[in-house]
Amino acid sequence: MTASPDSIVLEAAAERLRDAMIAGVPCDPVRGLLGAAASPDAGYAVQQINTDHWLAAGRRISGHKVGLTNPAVQQQLGMDEPIWGVLYADKCRTDGDDIGGTGLIEPRVEVEIAVVLGADLDQGSHTVADIIGATAYVLPALEIVDSRLAWDITNCDMIADNAGSGLYVLGTRPVPLAAVDLRRVEMQLTINGEAAATGNGAACLGNPLNSVLWLADALSQRGTPLQAGECIMTGSLCGMLPLSAGDEISAEIDGVGTVSATLSKY
């Protein structure tokens, strides 16, 4: 039987991660605090403590992210299943923005398809038809993944660290789902004008809609279902790539559009 960490330990782990984010300086992994109780469930408990903290401080949840949907990313981090985290409105950026000076510690970039919901997903167990019916539109997106733990992570650490959420950059031309087959889209990423990665929609759990389906079931069963208006970052179409100050990032997803950002400084 897996040990359950007490509330004092969970609070200490959450505070460690908050302090690291505020200071912009990495901290020790939280698994050291959790000990034998370090598990995905413990990670989500820590994440929830910080979610409650930030909501009380006035931040707004704008959506959710699914991580580790791409086998390439799973292999990079030694994990074998998806995870999820919270997106905050103050961490959303727009196509073409300079994302420098935003408190990033060790950023990496992923290219993703963002799904924006037009209806709640609160059925407990969903079908792909439910997901299609609830989708308002899709957008090309960059996720700027970050780690308050200097990427010294286990599954529990990354979940506790809000699934590595840093910033997310959205394109501004919405595309109706009927206009594109998300499974078959092709993606090209360039950094400083040089080809950096390619990928396709099938790299994201076989289809980005499967990612939304997985998340909808997971959150509905926890009693916190996805709601209309939420933006869902569905997962990477390629592996994570490290970023450096001065980088110019641009991605094109066939049939979905283009999105870009500049990282002028950390």
Q: Which CATH number belongs to the domain containing residue 128 in this structure? A: 3.90.850.10
- Asked whether residue 49 is assigned to any structural domain, the reply reads no
pLDDT for 37:
87
- Asked whether residue 18 is assigned to any structural domain, the reply reads no
Q: What are phi and psi of 150, to 5 degrees?
A: 55, 30
- Asked whether residue 214 is assigned to any structural domain, the reply reads yes
Task: Identify the CA nearest to 215 among candidates 97, 94, 86, 113.
Answer: 86
pLDDT for 266:
84
**Contacts (Cβ under 8 Å, ≥6 apart) of 160:** 13, 14, 17, 30, 42, 43, 44, 46, 47
- Asked whether residue 118 is assigned to any structural domain, the reply reads yes
Give the DSSP H or E segment for 93.
strand 92-94
Distances (CA, A) of 25 to 29, 146, 166, 189: 13, 12, 14, 28
pLDDT for 76:
67
Range of the domain at 113: 60-263
Helix (H, G, I), strand (E, B) or coil at 234: strand
- Asked whether residue 3 is assigned to any structural domain, the reply reads no
- Asked whether residue 190 is assigned to any structural domain, the reply reads yes
- Asked whether residue 167 is assigned to any structural domain, the reply reads yes
What total of structural domains would you count in the chain? 1
Q: Where are the alpha helices (DSSP H) in 5-56?
A: 7-23, 31-34, 40-56
Task: Identify the CA nearest to 98 among candidates 233, 243, 256.
Answer: 243
List the chain pLDDT tens, one digit each, 266 residues: 456 778 999 999 999 999 999 999 999 999 999 998 899 999 999 999 999 999 999 999 999 999 999 777 677 666 778 999 999 999 999 999 999 988 999 999 999 999 999 999 999 999 999 999 999 999 999 999 999 999 999 889 999 999 999 999 999 999 999 999 999 999 999 999 999 999 999 999 999 999 999 999 999 999 999 999 999 999 999 989 999 999 999 999 999 999 999 999 88
Inter-residue contact 1 to 126 (CB < 8 Å): no
- Asked whether residue 175 is assigned to any structural domain, the reply reads yes
Task: Identify the CA nearest to 257 among candidates 169, 197, 166, 194.
Answer: 169
Query: For the chain, how long is the longest CA-to-CA vector?
Result: 52
* pTM reported for the whole predicted model: 0.95
